[in-house]
């Protein structure tokens, strides 16, 4: 291995790769980790590391033993204690050091630090500050590799703290169920942060839990690199050959504090730490090698010298590297331009996009002279058409959800697709939203394009952490080297006494987070065009479909078209007042426009169509004309998208305003069941008409 | 000690002026020599410099922009830099009310909620509330929205109120200059008993002279000689010959003006100014033309200071470039006559008891009967006509 070309993105072969799983190579990998960690601990003390620093000292045998069997294109997902995994997978030490020192040359370009190391080029798909998601993401990568038949393997490293977490249960169940090529490596160092495993697990054996998920569970001495190496060899071979996942529990111990600078003896004793130090995996291996062959000393000493120099060079490189410039802080939140994933099929990239946009507006399109009259389709048929077209073009698309297989989806979102594409691309899931969303995250990170069909958007909340903390942040944390083409779709909206767990509209909440695109169409035509864009863009998209609109019929052009995100539609032109509405509220407002026109009030109705990005320019232009703005939003007012629009318009359009900005929102209550109660919490057509009149009287 | 700031006398006849506004903000440190406020007197505005240094203080009852102020009236104070806050602003402060914040009116209805202020439209003390759009439109149309009555639910002035006001009120905003012209012409026309003397003259020689001189003067003096220059010269020479015409009426009777000065009415997009051409009877014609041109340019650029507009007993108003054959003018306030001149046109004219076609000029002299009677006034006009018919004498 060479650490002398830190500027190169090309990873050198993993330390102790498949061809070099011998003891000396394992020793070298462990030593590289050990000396790096000790050097980083000193740097932390010196203030060169700006945030937390969790070292892997004492646990080196696990990363070294497992990664010895991984190919360069296999992938690993790791934890907050991930330096060792990164180095064992082949991350060049200078890039590790530079990342911790916050430099532009770091493996995450300074966006991650100790807990967010990314090097997709060498299969390091990330370390994470959240306990559990790496298990789901590894399952997702396994799913991706199975779908694309690549023969690659995914590994999740996680601690004992993760195994009492829902992600462990959901991830292992999905991997066992679908026989995914994954190795789950539990590094049981006996403390979840500072809480002893013996006090957090009802079943003290992690390995034994494999049986619950239909996979082998193996317990090994995590301080014996040869034992780990042997167990990993078997597990990786099983995964690669289609035999499914394995759970390996490695019993080990970290001999430094949870994080550098933290006290260590409030929850464990010095004696216990010293006892484990005496079982040092490096010393143990060295003794064994010398006992078997005293002549190995020369080789060991050469490795000692080489690795010491390597680590010192890494430190110097990092210390001399530049910090990233502040003006790049907002780069890589979103993918730039249209999808450009190497190897993705389809001719999207060469398509001149703008030319495909049909003329505005969305709801009442006037067909161009000579053009064939648009067909009438329902909202849901229009989205099915979009999905069908894109699945035919792109074999990387697969759909997950409850009942989206042979049944064709609760809302007929996938009708007919199972017959065409089968269970690999239409995967009925158990009811485990967190599990399959986390899995979708890993799948997107590793080359697939997952579509998650939630049925109801309310269900997504169980997966909010995976969306907000993982999916939304992944492009940024990896400084744009990972793309996240995940489509998350589900129904929103109040109606038909669905009550409070089947009625929420959550677009404002998701729009708050950088990294997500949030779409809420109001017409069949918009639904298809926007879904086509969602299925071809590289950003994660929440595609929220109002249930009361699914059966709505409307014109949908027969020719292929896309509707760009961040372009509002002027649904109806008017003179006196601008109304901004989304989804169902567009139609509620339209209902009253003619009546108001007879009263002499001319309404301009704008549908933003996407909540993120939000097209305030179009609203601003309209308010410049009318001077009055009403935002009609079925969702909550407090902190909602209406508040955002109002704030932006009050700022950018202050001098255009002839009256206060008004919002008409749903009541700030959970959604009640009984019809009169339900009707009372949603803006009615009458309430909208009155709000418009009142605003015009201001 | 606070230094009082009063309205200065801008010229020898100024009694009052329009206070246009402060050039410094109250509380701002002013240094001696810096422009402090603007006054508009007679027909020009002038920036008044501070004669002392200090912190500007404007008591609440001080004149507001647009007010007519008497010479000597108090406008404000310059405080020493270390002096504490004046009592005026302290007493004024509590009367000011902050607008009620819209955020404080929390919705209580369980049903769909219209968010926003239901409280009365915020109004600053003494000013009606107006929407930002209404204020912008008012600025564009020159409508003073502070005088409007709002039609909004809470009395707020909205755009339509401004549009309505702009339709029913002045076609153009009332500028200080417009206000002054209105005031001065009405005053003069009411106070000075006007009578009018008319004469027509053969302008053949005058035109020939101008034709002869124009190229040469343009080359030598860089200015284009106009008939106005020659008429100014004739009027000034006549004034010198008729000292009684160089007098004006003041409260205590007839007073004589120093010098042989003639005012020239200069038309501007927003009104008119009458810069005074000093000693127009003397010096070369090129020199006169150059001074006339400089004054007209300064007037058009708004660069005329008060002094340049002060003095003179008579003025010239020449509409010769228009289609007007003859007209009579209102005597400028403070003067005793004005000569109104129409266009030169070929007209039937009697020469040697024969009708011939000649380019002629029609003059009309408006005269203040308090200063001159018909006989002397006729002599004054006669001298002007003589000069113009024998123009060689003017050069």
Confidence (pLDDT) at B9: 74
Confidence (pLDDT) at B105: 37
Q: What is the spatial distance between Cα B352 and Cα A488, in angstroms, rounded to a whole number?
A: 108
Of the two residues B44 and A123, the one the predictor is more confident about is A123
User: What would the mean pLDDT of A299-310 be, rounded to a whole number?
Assistant: 97
Q: Is the pLDDT of residue B97 over 50?
A: no
Q: Is the pLDDT of residue A640 over 70?
A: yes
Parallel, antiparallel or unpaired: strands A629-636 and A577-581? parallel
Confidence (pLDDT) at A421: 97
Question: Nearest 5 degrees, angle CA B230-CA B236-CA B238?
Answer: 105
DSSP helix, strand, coil percent of chain A (3-state; round to 5)? 45, 15, 40
Instruction: Determine the distance in angstroms separating the CA of B54 from the nearest CA of chain A, rounded to an integer.
Output: 36
Query: Which tens digits make up the pLDDT trace of A549-591?
Result: 999 999 999 999 999 999 999 999 999 999 999 999 999 999 9
Confidence (pLDDT) at A549: 97
Of the two residues A482 and B67, the one the predictor is more confident about is A482
Chain A residues closer than 8 Å to B153 by CB: 694, 697-698
Q: What is the spatial distance between Cα B92 and Cα B126, in angstroms, rounded to a whole number?
A: 12
- Report the residue of chain A nearest B102, measured CA to CA: A660
User: What would the mean pLDDT of A644-665 be, rounded to a whole number?
Assistant: 96
Q: Is A638 a catalytic residue?
A: no
Weakest-pLDDT range from A494-503, B28-37, B317-326, B329-338 = B28-37
Q: Of A655, A660, A664, which has the smallest distance from its Cβ to B117's Cβ? A: A660
Q: Is the pLDDT of residue A476 over 90?
A: yes
Query: Which tens digits make up the pLDDT trace of A483-502?
Result: 999 999 999 999 999 999 99
Confidence (pLDDT) at A336: 73
Q: What is the mean pLDDT of chain A?
A: 92
Chain A residues closer than 8 Å to B104 by CB: none
Of the two residues A674 and B310, the one the predictor is more confident about is A674
Confidence (pLDDT) at B8: 81
Of the two residues A355 and B178, the one the predictor is more confident about is B178
Q: How confident is the model at residue A403 (pLDDT cuts 50, 70, 90)?
A: very high
User: What would the mean pLDDT of B301-326 be, rounded to a whole number?
Assistant: 90
Q: With respect to CATH, is domain B3-89 assigned 3.40.50.970?
A: no
Q: Is the pLDDT of residue A243 over 90?
A: yes
Q: Is the pLDDT of residue B180 over 90?
A: no
| Range B128-174: architecture per CATH | Irregular (4.10)
CATH 3.40.50.920 range(s) for chain A read: 570-697
Chain B residues closer than 8 Å to A639 by CB: none
Confidence (pLDDT) at B103: 37
- Contact at CB, A655 and B152, closer than 8 angstroms: no
Taking Cα atoms as reference points, which of B164, B271, A654 lies closest to residue B147?
B164
**Residue A180: φ, ψ to 5°:** -80, 145
Q: Name the CATH superfamily, with its identifier, for domain A21-74+84-90+132-256+266-315.
A: Thiamin diphosphate (ThDP)-binding fold, Pyr/PP domains (3.40.50.970)
What is the DSSP annotation of A328-380?
A: GTTTTSS--SS---TT--SSGGGS-GGGGPPPS-SSS--PPTTSPPPEEEEHH
Q: What is the spatial distance between Cα A330 and Cα A9, in angstroms, rounded to a whole number?
A: 22
Of the two residues A326 and B118, the one the predictor is more confident about is A326
Query: Which tens digits make up the pLDDT trace of A377-395?
Result: 999 999 999 999 999 999 9
Q: Give Cα B149 distance to the centre of its chain.
A: 31
Query: Which tens digits make up the pLDDT trace of A158-170?
Result: 999 999 999 999 9
Candidates B113, B134, B154, partner chain A, best to mutate (most A CBs within 10 A): B113
Instruction: Determine the distance in angstroms separating the CA of A51 from the nearest CA of chain B, rounded to an integer.
Output: 39
Q: How confident is the model at residue B52 (pLDDT cuts 50, 70, 90)?
A: confident
Confidence (pLDDT) at B64: 85
Q: How confident is the model at residue B3 (pLDDT cuts 50, 70, 90)?
A: confident
Q: What is the spatial distance between Cα A128 and Cα A134, in angstroms, rounded to a whole number?
A: 7
Q: What is the spatial distance between Cα B364 and Cα B381, in angstroms, rounded to a whole number?
A: 9
Instruction: Determine the distance in angstroms separating the CA of B135 from the nearest CA of chain A, rounded to an integer.
Output: 8
Which pair of structure tokens corresponds to residue B269? 């997009």
Taking Cα atoms as reference points, which of B268, B309, B306 lies closest to residue B178?
B268
Whether residue A637 lies within 8 A of chain B, CB to CB, comes out as yes
Confidence (pLDDT) at A420: 96
Topology of domain A570-697 in CATH is Rossmann fold (3.40.50)
Q: How confident is the model at residue A371 (pLDDT cuts 50, 70, 90)?
A: low
- Contact at CB, A698 and B153, closer than 8 angstroms: yes
Q: How confident is the model at residue A56 (pLDDT cuts 50, 70, 90)?
A: very high
Confidence (pLDDT) at A343: 36
Whether residue A663 lies within 8 A of chain B, CB to CB, comes out as yes
Query: Which tens digits make up the pLDDT trace of B230-289?
Result: 999 999 999 999 999 999 999 879 999 988 899 999 999 888 999 999 988 888 899 999
Confidence (pLDDT) at B101: 36
Q: Where are the beta strands (DSSP E) in A182-298?
A: 182-188, 191-192, 195-196, 217-221, 246-251
Confidence (pLDDT) at B6: 85
User: What would the mean pLDDT of B46-57 be, rounded to a whole number?
Assistant: 84
- Contact at CB, A667 and B110, closer than 8 angstroms: yes
- Report the residue of chain A nearest B155, measured CA to CA: A698
CATH 3.40.50.970 range(s) for chain A read: 21-74+84-90+132-256+266-315, 374-556
Topology of domain B177-394 in CATH is Chloramphenicol Acetyltransferase (3.30.559)
Which pair of structure tokens corresponds to residue B88? 């005026």
Chain A residues closer than 8 Å to B162 by CB: none
Confidence (pLDDT) at A184: 98
Q: How confident is the model at residue A694 (pLDDT cuts 50, 70, 90)?
A: very high
Instruction: Determine the distance in angstroms separating the CA of A678 from the nearest CA of chain B, rounded to an integer.
Output: 10
User: What would the mean pLDDT of A327-332 be, rounded to a whole number?
Assistant: 94
Whether residue A135 lies within 8 A of chain B, CB to CB, comes out as no
Marked catalytic residue, from A502, A546, A587, A668:
A502
| Range A374-556: architecture per CATH | 3-Layer(aba) Sandwich (3.40)
Which pair of structure tokens corresponds to residue A340? 């450009």
Query: Which tens digits make up the pLDDT trace of A519-557?
Result: 999 999 999 999 999 999 999 999 999 999 999 999 999
């Amino acid at each position: 291995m060479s650490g002398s070309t830190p500027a190169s993105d090309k990873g050198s072969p993993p330390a102790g790769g498949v061809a070099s799983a011998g003891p000396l190579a394992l020793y070298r990998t462990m030593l590289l980790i050990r000396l790096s960690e000790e050097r980083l601990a000193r740097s932390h003390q010196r203030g060169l590391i700006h945030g937390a620093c969790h070292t892997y000292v004492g646990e080196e045998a696990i990363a070294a033993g497992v990664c010895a069997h991984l190919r360069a294109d296999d992938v690993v997902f790791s934890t907050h204690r991930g330096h060792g995994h990164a180095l064992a997978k082949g991350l060049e030490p200078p890039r590790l050091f530079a990342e911790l020192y916050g430099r532009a040359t770091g493996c995450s370009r300074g966006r991650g630090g100790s807990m967010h190391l990314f090097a997709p080029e060498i299969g390091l798909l990330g370390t994470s500050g959240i306990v559990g998601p790496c298990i789901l993401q590894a399952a997702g990568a396994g799913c991706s590799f199975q779908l694309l038949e690549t023969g690659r393997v995914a590994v999740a490293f996680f601690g004992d703290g993760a195994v009492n977490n829902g992600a462990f249960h959901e991830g292992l169940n999905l991997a066992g169920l679908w026989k995914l090529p994954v190795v789950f490596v539990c590094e049981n160092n006996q403390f979840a942060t500072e809480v002893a495993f013996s006090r957090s697990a009802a079943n003290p054996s992690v390995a034994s839990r494999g049986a619950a998920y239909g996979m082998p569970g193996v317990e090994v001495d995590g301080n014996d690199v040869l034992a780990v190496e042997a167990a990993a060899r078997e597990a990786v071979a099983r995964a690669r050959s289609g035999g499914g996942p394995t759970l390996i529990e490695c019993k080990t111990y970290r001999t430094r504090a949870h994080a550098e600078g933290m006290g260590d003896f409030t929850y464990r004793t010095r004696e216990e730490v010293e006892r484990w130090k005496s079982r040092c995996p490096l010393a143990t291996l060295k003794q064994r090698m010398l006992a078997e062959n005293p002549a190995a000393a020369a080789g060991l000493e050469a490795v000692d010298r080489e690795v010491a120099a390597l680590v010192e060079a890494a430190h110097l490189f990092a210390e001399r590297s530049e910090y990233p410039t502040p003006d790049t802080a907002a780069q890589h939140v979103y993918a730039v331009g249209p999808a450009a994933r190497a190897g993705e099929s389809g001719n999207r990239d060469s398509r001149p996009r703008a030319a495909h946009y049909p003329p505005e507006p969305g709801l009442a399109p006037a067909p161009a002279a000579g053009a064939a009259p648009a067909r009438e389709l329902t909202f849901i048929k229009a989205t099915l058409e979009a999905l069908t077209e894109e699945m035919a073009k792109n074999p990387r698309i697969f759909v997950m959800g409850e009942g989206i297989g042979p049944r064709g989806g609760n809302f007929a979102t996938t009708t007919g697709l199972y017959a065409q594409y089968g269970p690999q691309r239409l995967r009925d899931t158990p009811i485990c939203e967190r599990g399959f969303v986390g899995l979708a995250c890993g799948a997107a990170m590793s080359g697939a394009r997952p579509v998650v069909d939630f049925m109801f958007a309310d269900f997504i909340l169980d997966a909010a952490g995976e969306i907000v903390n993982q999916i939304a942040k992944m492009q940024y944390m990896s400084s744009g080297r990972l793309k996240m083409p995940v489509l998350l779709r589900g129904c929103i909206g109040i109606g038909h006494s669905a009550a409070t767990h089947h009625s929420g509209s959550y677009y404002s909440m998701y729009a708050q987070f950088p990294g997500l695109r949030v779409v809420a169409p109001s017409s069949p035509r918009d639904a298809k065009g926007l879904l086509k864009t969602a299925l071809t863009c590289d950003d994660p998209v929440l595609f929220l479909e109002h249930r009361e609109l699914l059966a709505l019929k409307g014109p949908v052009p027969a020719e292929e078209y896309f509707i760009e995100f961040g372009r509002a539609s002027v649904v109806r032109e008017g003179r006196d007042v601008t109304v901004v509405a989304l989804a169902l509220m567009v139609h509620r407002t339209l209902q009253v426009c003619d009546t108001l026109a007879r009263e002499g009030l001319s309404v301009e109705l704008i549908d933003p169509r996407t909540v993120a990005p939000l097209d305030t320019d179009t609203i601003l232009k309209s308010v410049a004309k009318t001077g009055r703005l009403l935002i009609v939003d079925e969702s909550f007012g407090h902190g909602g998208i209406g508040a955002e629009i109002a704030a932006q318009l009050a700022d950018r359009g202050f001098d255009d305003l002839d009256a206060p900005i008004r919002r008409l929102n749903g009541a700030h209550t959970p959604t009640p069941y009984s019809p009169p109660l339900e009707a009372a919490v949603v803006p009615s057509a009458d309430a909208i008409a009155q709000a418009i009149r009142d605003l015009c009287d201001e | 000690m606070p230094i009082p700031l009063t309205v200065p006398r801008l010229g020898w006849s100024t009694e009052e002026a329009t206070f246009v506004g402060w050039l410094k903000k109250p509380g701002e440190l002013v240094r001696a020599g810096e422009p402090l406020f603007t006054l508009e007197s007679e027909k020009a505005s002038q920036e008044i410099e501070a004669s002392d240094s200090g912190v500007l203080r404007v008591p609440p009852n001080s004149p507001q922009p647009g007010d007519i102020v008497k010479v000597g009236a108090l406008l404000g104070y310059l405080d020493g830099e270390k002096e504490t806050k004046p009592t005026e602003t302290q007493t004024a402060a509590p009367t000011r009310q902050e607008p009620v914040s819209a955020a404080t009116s929390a919705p209580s209805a369980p049903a769909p909620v219209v968010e926003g202020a239901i409280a009365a439209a915020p109004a600053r003390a003494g000013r009606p509330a107006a929407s930002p759009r209404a204020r912008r439109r008012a600025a564009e149309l020159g409508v003073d929205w502070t005088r409007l009555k709002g039609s909004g639910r809470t009395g707020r002035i909205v755009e339509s109120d401004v549009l309505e006001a702009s339709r029913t009120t002045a076609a153009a905003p009332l500028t200080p200059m417009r206000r002054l012209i209105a005031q001065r012409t009405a005053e003069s026309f009411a106070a000075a008993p006007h009578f009018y003397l008319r004469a027509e003259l053969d302008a053949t020689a005058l035109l020939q002279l101008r034709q002869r001189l124009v190229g040469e003067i343009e080359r030598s003096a860089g200015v284009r000689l106009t008939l106005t220059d020659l008429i100014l010269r004739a009027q000034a020479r006549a004034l010198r010959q008729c000292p009684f015409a160089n007098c004006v009426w003041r409260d205590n009777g007839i007073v004589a003006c120093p010098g042989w000065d003639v005012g020239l009415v200069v038309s501007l997009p927003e009104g008119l100014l009458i810069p005074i051409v000093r000693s127009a009877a003397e010096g070369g014609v090129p020199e006169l033309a150059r001074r006339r041109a400089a004054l007209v340019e300064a007037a058009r650029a708004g660069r005329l200071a008060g002094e340049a507009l002060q003095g003179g007993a008579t003025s010239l108003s020449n509409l010769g470039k228009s289609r007007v054959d003859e007209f009579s003018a209102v005597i400028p306030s403070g003067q005793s006559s004005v000569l109104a001149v129409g266009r030169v046109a070929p007209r039937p004219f009697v020469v040697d008891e024969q009708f011939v076609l000649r380019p002629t000029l029609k003059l009309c002299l408006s005269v203040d009967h308090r200063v001159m009677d018909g006989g002397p006034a006729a002599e004054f006009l006669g001298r002007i006509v003589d000069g113009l018919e024998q123009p060689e004498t003017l050069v």
